[in-house]
């Protein structure tokens, strides 16, 4: 028996490429950060350090100064089973423990940095765990993930399988995280870490961005600051259920674990199969939360969000303009009106499809992706041509992962929806909505086909809004075998990514928005395939300032779809000036979400000028570096942020009055990210026709004054706002 184990371990090791000589200490560095692991052969892998970049000569210093973390790099449930851990399995013989030691280290270069793969095997069982680390050198990001394999006879059950563990030295450590609800996504909470276990978790099943978010910042030097103090940022790249746990126990550490949530998700791993966890991306910054955000933004623009090398079009989306009342006349009129204002892309939202069951209410037709000829007698191509005739592009809404109990699709394929045998289904939106079973390859083909058919028949569709409005109810698959039902939560998302990859392979150019009934699909699990996401179904400009602020902790402006909508706002009922609405929407990918024919002449005139001005600042916003200046969450009466281009020659500054009282003290705002030695000329943008530009317009200031002393804003009315462009002189 012993012999057999030994030979399988040897087999495993020899299969894993390199000869077994490596340096005991693995120093993994980016431009400004370092992670150090102690990988002694036949010893457990330890994490010694994560923080400011250290050089070769400081390796020993870490130990000499006793500042090494010296923790298992990937704690497992083993003989010391009293501690929180990252992995727990059941072996074929019923044994529930692991005892992992280092067997192999492989280092290689990548085009972004380097990859380090450290394989550990169980001392007794032919069970191997590889911890992977991949650096994005310039962006100061280290991605880490785990691969699990075994050679046991039969099935090993993975009961818990986190992507990562990170020990954080106790101190005045604060956690910042995002949470919310539909139309109230992305509230920000910052709290000091205290004893006990804090879990951030999601079990929506299909979208994971509505309530909590799998992205956190740890401020190591007390209350979070935008531009000071050490920060560790952490982002889980997974679109399904997750669990982020911080266990603050009797030790000197906060123990941070993150991965797929193991709720009803025991994974049955066959001999020779590899289970790969999602990636966890860490960044470290000495420049506060703002520094960590800018690292994530660069990483996102360099590949984690699709298509960021191209600037995004200004679009009008039909939803809040006509809702489901799509008809040819209105579509033509919206296209024409928007083109006249300088718009670049028109998107027809929900309501255009359904033959036997036309989509007149939200309770039918999903899955029946054919044009409703009564609403659009001349068909899709006519609208596309109309848009082109007006010099703008055309986009369309779909919700490919779902169907309704009233649809031709479910009549044809009742087995394609997730369902629990013998139980009445639980329905979502409209009292009829069901989720397709993406674990099933036939369903994956169908979903790929929806996009493929649209783009084959109409190759000049430039944009797709991919919506997802239903949770993963009815936990049961007719496709997966009985003993693999616990794979649904995981295999659903693997199926989704598989479809998205196929779409991207064939259609790299089309811009695709991830929408999840608002902000439900804000997730780095899928953003490598989507160009942008819908921040929220709430388009109220005031609340959007909070949402966009918090979302920008982790996501870049180019990915954030921000639309100017009607006033009073449809979600909050608040009335806000058009200028304020534009000034808020312009900090991301600008769009509109209203019926243009309801705008009066002066509103159209303002919108036309604002759209033209956005075009001039678009590169700075969509490709520039974000500096958040005054947080709306700090309740100072204002909020302010700015974008600066890479060589600090141009910048755009935004400020908003968040509340209004007589004689209230509005603080001076100090800019950031400029070059102290440069001089900048200020031009105010988006000035209403009946107003004068502010006192700063046309003046030239040094970067030093703008950053060290700051500017007075003179925001003298309710919902006053300013957009200032700064150009180096």
The residues that are catalytic are 467, 537
- Residue 318 or 552 having the CB closest to ligand DGJ: 318
**Minimum distance from CB of 116 to ligand DGJ (Å)?**
41
- Residue 283 or 365 having the CB closest to ligand DGJ: 365
**Minimum distance from CB of 463 to ligand DGJ (Å)?**
13
- Cα–Cα distance list, 117 to 105, 133, 288, 352, 504 (Å): 6, 6, 30, 50, 28
DSSP labels, 358-414: --SSTTS-TT--SB-TTT-TTHHHHHHHHHHHTT-EEEEEE-TTEEESSSHHHHH-G
- Residue 161 or 466 having the CB closest to ligand DGJ: 466
Binding test (CB under 6 A) with ligand DGJ, winner from 353, 397, 555, 656: 397
Token couple for 710:
């700051």
**Minimum distance from CB of 645 to ligand DGJ (Å)?**
31
Told to check if 532 binds ligand DGJ by CB under 6 A, we report: no
Name the CA radius of gyration of the chain, rounded: 27
- Residue 75 or 209 having the CB closest to ligand DGJ: 209
Closest CA to 229 of 218, 237, 240, 238: 218
Distance CA 222, CA 200 (A): 21
Closest CA to 239 of 260, 258, 256: 260
Binding test (CB under 6 A) with ligand DGJ, winner from 517, 525, 596, 703: 517
Binding test (CB under 6 A) with ligand DGJ, winner from 211, 238, 267, 319: 319
Token couple for 596:
């243009």
Q: How many C-alpha atoms does 321 have within 13 Å on its Cβ side?
A: 29
Told to check if 471 binds ligand DGJ by CB under 6 A, we report: no
∠ at Cα 664 (659, 668), nearest 5°? Answer: 90
- Residue 104 or 593 having the CB closest to ligand DGJ: 593
Distance CA 264, CA 610 (A): 50
Closest CA to 134 of 346, 269, 279, 8: 279
Told to check if 368 binds ligand DGJ by CB under 6 A, we report: no
Burial 288-313 (b: 16+ CB within 10 A, else e): bbbbbbbbbbbbbbeebbbbbeeebb
Question: x/- contact string, 432-451, with ligand DGJ (CB under 6 A)?
Answer: --------------------
Q: Are 604 and 338 in contact (CB under 8 A)?
A: no
Q: What phi and psi, each to the nearest 5 degrees, are found at residue 631? A: -80, 135
**Minimum distance from CB of 258 to ligand DGJ (Å)?**
27
Told to check if 395 binds ligand DGJ by CB under 6 A, we report: no
Told to check if 537 binds ligand DGJ by CB under 6 A, we report: yes
DSSP category for residue 311: P
Binding test (CB under 6 A) with ligand DGJ, winner from 212, 419, 469, 538: 469
**Minimum distance from CB of 571 to ligand DGJ (Å)?**
11
**Minimum distance from CB of 515 to ligand DGJ (Å)?**
5
Told to check if 518 binds ligand DGJ by CB under 6 A, we report: yes
Specify the 3-state DSSP secondary structure of 89.
strand
- Residue 366 or 669 having the CB closest to ligand DGJ: 366
- Residue 259 or 596 having the CB closest to ligand DGJ: 596
Binding test (CB under 6 A) with ligand DGJ, winner from 204, 437, 467, 532: 467
* Span interacting with ligand DGJ, options 186-194, 409-417, 514-522, 579-587, rule CB under 6 A: 514-522
Distance CA 258, CA 196 (A): 16
Told to check if 349 binds ligand DGJ by CB under 6 A, we report: yes
Distance CA 315, CA 344 (A): 6
Told to check if 337 binds ligand DGJ by CB under 6 A, we report: no
- Residue 167 or 518 having the CB closest to ligand DGJ: 518
**Minimum distance from CB of 351 to ligand DGJ (Å)?**
8
Binding test (CB under 6 A) with ligand DGJ, winner from 353, 416, 524, 534: 534
Told to check if 350 binds ligand DGJ by CB under 6 A, we report: yes
Residues that bind ligand DGJ (CB under 6 A): 319, 349-350, 362, 397, 467, 469, 515, 517-518, 534, 537
């Amino acid at each position: 028996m012993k012999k057999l184990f030994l030979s399988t371990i040897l087999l495993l090791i020899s299969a894993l490429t390199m000869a077994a000589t490596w340096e005991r200490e693995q120093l993994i560095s980016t431009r400004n950060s370092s992670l150090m692991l102690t990988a002694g052969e036949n010893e457990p892998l330890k994490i010694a350090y994560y923080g400011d970049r250290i050089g070769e000569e400081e390796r020993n210093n870490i130990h000499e100064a006793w500042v090494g973390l010296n923790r298992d790099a990937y704690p497992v449930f083993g003989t010391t089973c009293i501690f929180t851990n990252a992995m727990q399995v059941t072996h074929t013989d019923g044994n529930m423990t692991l005892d992992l030691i280092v067997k192999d280290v492989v280092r290689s270069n990548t085009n972004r940095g380097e990859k380090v793969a450290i394989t550990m095997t169980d001392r007794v069982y032919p069970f191997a765990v590889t911890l992977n680390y991949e650096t994005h050198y310039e962006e100061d990001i280290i991605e880490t993930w785990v691969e699990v394999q075994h050679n046991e006879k039969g099935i090993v059950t993975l009961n818990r399988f986190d992507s990562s563990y990170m020990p954080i030295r106790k101190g005045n450590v604060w956690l910042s995280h995002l949470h919310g609800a539909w139309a109230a996504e992305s509230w920000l909470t910052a709290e000091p870490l205290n004893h006990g276990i804090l879990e951030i978790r999601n079990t929506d099943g299909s979208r994971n961005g509505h309530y909590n978010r799998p992205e956190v910042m740890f401020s190591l030097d007390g209350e979070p600051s935008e531009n000071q103090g050490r920060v560790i940022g952490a982002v889980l790249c997974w679109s399904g259920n997750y669990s982020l746990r911080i266990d603050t126990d009797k030790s000197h550490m906060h123990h941070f674990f993150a991965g797929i949530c193991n709720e009803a998700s025991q994974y049955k791993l066959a001999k020779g199969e590899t289970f790969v966890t999602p990636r966890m991306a860490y960044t470290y910054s000495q420049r506060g939360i703002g520094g960590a955000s800018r690292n994530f933004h660069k990483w996102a623009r360099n590949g984690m969000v699709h298509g960021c090398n191209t600037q995004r079009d200004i679009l009008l989306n039909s939803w809040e303009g006509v809702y489901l009342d799509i008809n040819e006349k209105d579509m033509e009129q919206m296209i024409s009106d928007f083109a006249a204002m300088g718009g670049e892309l028109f998107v027809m939202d929900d309501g255009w499809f359904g033959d036997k069951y036309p989509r007149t209410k939200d309770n039918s037709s999903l899955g029946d992706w054919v044009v409703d000829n009564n609403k659009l007698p001349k068909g899709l191509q006519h609208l596309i041509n109309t848009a082109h005739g007006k010099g703008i592009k055309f986009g369309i809404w779909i919700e490919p992962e779902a169907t309704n109990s009233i649809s031709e699709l479910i009549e044809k394929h009742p087995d394609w929806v997730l369902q629990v045998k013998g139980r009445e289904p639980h329905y979502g939106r409209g009292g009829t909505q069901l989720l397709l079973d993406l674990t099933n390859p036939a369903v994956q083909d169908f979903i790929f086909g929806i996009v493929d058919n649209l783009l084959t028949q109409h190759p000049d569709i430039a944009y797709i809004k991919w919506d997802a409005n239903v949770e993963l109810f009815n936990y049961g698959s007719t496709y997966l075998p009985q003993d693999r039902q616990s794979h649904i939560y995981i295999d659903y998302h693997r199926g989704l990514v598989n479809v998205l990859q196929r779409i991207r392979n064939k259609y790299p150019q089309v811009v695709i928005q991830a929408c999840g009934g608002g902000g439900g699909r804000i997730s780095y699990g899928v953003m490598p395939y989507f160009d942008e996401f819908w921040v929220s179904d709430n388009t109220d400009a005031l609340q959007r300032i909070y949402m966009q602020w918090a979302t920008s902790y982790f996501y870049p402006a180019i990915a954030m779809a921000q639309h100017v909508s009607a006033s009073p706002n449809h979600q909050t009922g608040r009335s806000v000036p058009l200028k304020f609405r534009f000034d808020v929407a312009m900090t991301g990918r600008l769009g509109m979400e209203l019926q243009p024919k309801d705008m009066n002449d002066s509103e159209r005139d303002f919108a036309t000028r604002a759209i033209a001005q956005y075009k001039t600042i678009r590169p700075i916003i969509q490709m520039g570096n974000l500096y958040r200046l005054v947080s709306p969450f700090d309740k100072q009466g204002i909020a302010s942020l700015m974008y600066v281009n890479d060589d600090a020659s141009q910048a755009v500054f935004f400020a908003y009055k968040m509340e209004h009282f007589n004689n209230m003290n509005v603080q001076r705002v100090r800019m950031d990210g400029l070059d102290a030695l440069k001089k900048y000329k200020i031009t105010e943008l988006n000035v209403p026709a009946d107003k004068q530009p502010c006192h700063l317009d046309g003046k030239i200031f040094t970067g030093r004054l703008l950053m060290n002393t700051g500017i007075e804003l003179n925001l003298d009315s309710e919902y006053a706002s300013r957009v200032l462009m700064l150009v180096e002189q």
